[in-house]
Structures are given as structure tokens and as C-alpha cells.
């Protein structure tokens, strides 16, 4: 299965199992704070949708705070508890995606 098929397959699985709980990485915490929403690394986010945006951006998610505020972010910007349904597939995607991003950066493409 090629990368685009893997992204499509995982995106569909995520959307079929929404909402999913996740936690932000530091960069996402900064983005929320810059938009007037002071969250922490321990703030629980709810994924309400996922979109396959292809190899350039990967899988994007809409996450929501308990107060209803929503923001789009990359699936790589989220941390999942090991008991989360699809954890192993998401973690595998995140590892591969991070490797791809590093390769693109080293070639000056990002």
C-alpha cells in the first residue's frame, strides 16, 4: 500500500471512530495560547474530524476544547494515550510522517 492509500485508510478509520481524545504537543499549545486560549500540555482535546490533505500536509484534524473553540492541526501535533483505539496505527503514521518531514527539511523543501 502506498503512502496516499495509507493516509486515506487511516483518515477514514479515524473519522469512523470520532470523537477521539488527544493531548497537544508544545507547538500546538503555543498556537492555542496565541489565539487567546491558554491551554497546557495536559489539556484534553477532542478530535471532531480528520482530513487527508496529501503528502505535503499529511492528515489534518479539527480539535475542539471543552468551551467549543476549534482549531485545525496536524495529526503529528497530537499525543494519544496508549489505550486509544487506533493508537498503534496513529503512532506508526506519526513516526513515518516525522521521518518524511525531516527528509523534506534536509532537502530544503519545507
Q: With helix as H, strand as E and coil as C, how does the chain read?
A: CCHHHHHHHHHHHHHHCCCEEEEECHHHHHHHHHCCCCCCCCCCEEEEEEEECHHHHCEEEEEECCCCCEEEEEHHHEECCCCCCCHHHHHHHHHHHHHHHHHHHHCCCC
Range of the domain at 57: 3-103
Count structural domains, the chain. Answer: 1
Q: What is the pTM of this model?
A: 0.90
Mean pLDDT across the stretch 23-49?
A: 97
In a domain, 38, yes or no: yes
In a domain, 30, yes or no: yes
Confidence check: pLDDT of 50 > 80: yes
pLDDT-derived band at 13, boundaries 50, 70, 90: very high
Amino acid at each position: 500500500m502506498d503512502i496516499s492509500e495509507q493516509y486515506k485508510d487511516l483518515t477514514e478509520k479515524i473519522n469512523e471512530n470520532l470523537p477521539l481524545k488527544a493531548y497537544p504537543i508544545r507547538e500546538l499549545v503555543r498556537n492555542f495560547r496565541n489565539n487567546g486560549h491558554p491551554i497546557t500540555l495536559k489539556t484534553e482535546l477532542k478530535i471532531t474530524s480528520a482530513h487527508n490533505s496529501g503528502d505535503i500536509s499529511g492528515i489534518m484534524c479539527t480539535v475542539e476544547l471543552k468551551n467549543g473553540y476549534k482549531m485545525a492541526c496536524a495529526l503529528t501535533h497530537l499525543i494519544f494515550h496508549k489505550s486509544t483505539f487506533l493508537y498503534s496505527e496513529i503512532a506508526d503514521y506519526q513516526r513515518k510522517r516525522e521521518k518524511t518531514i525531516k527528509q523534506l527539511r534536509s532537502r530544503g523543501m519545507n
